[in-house]
Amino acid sequence: MGLYDDEWRRLHQVRNRLILWAGLGLLALVAGVLWLDAQDWSGAERMLTSVAGLALWLAGLSYFYFQLMFYRCPRCKGLFAARGKEGRGRSWLPRARCGHCGLGTDSEG
């Protein structure tokens, strides 16, 4: 048992949800295209439904993404995604180490 086990579990949970949501979105996209094709709808109705579905997926994606990007380091409480010690500049991809104190994910403390 490490000192930050709970925090890492939470971080992995958020990351897994993001991956799951992205994957489900792709499946929903394929299913949605097939479903829309089978409907006897006008072009405007199809367009509106597509845009609404896409907006919903992007909203969920941003929600999980920002949870990951604004994840705070369990040791120094700084933003994990920040690049420098000053916290300026941000990495747009999840990082393996804290940008402030260098704590690695899954390290025991």
The reply on whether position 98 binds Zn ion by CB under 5 A is yes
From residue 45, give the alpha-carbon distance in Å to each of 36, 42, 51, 52, 71. Answer: 9, 5, 10, 11, 39
Q: What is the DSSP letter of 95?
A: -
Residues in contact with Zn ion, shown as a per-residue x/- string from 28 to 67 under the rule CB under 5 A: ----------------------------------------
Q: DSSP per residue over 4-68, as a string? A: THHHHHHHHHHHHHHHHHHHHHHHHHHHHHHHHHHS---HHHHHHHHHHHHHHHHHHHHHHHHHH
Taking the least distance from each CB to Zn ion, the nearer of 4 and 57 is: 4
Residue 81 binds to Zn ion (criterion: CB under 5 A): no
C-beta closer to Zn ion: residue 11 or 98 = 98
Name the minimum Å distance from CB 78 to Zn ion.
5
> Pick from 68, 81, 100, 105: which binds Zn ion (CB under 5 A)?
100
* List of residues contacting Zn ion (CB under 5 A): 73, 75-76, 78, 98, 100-101, 103
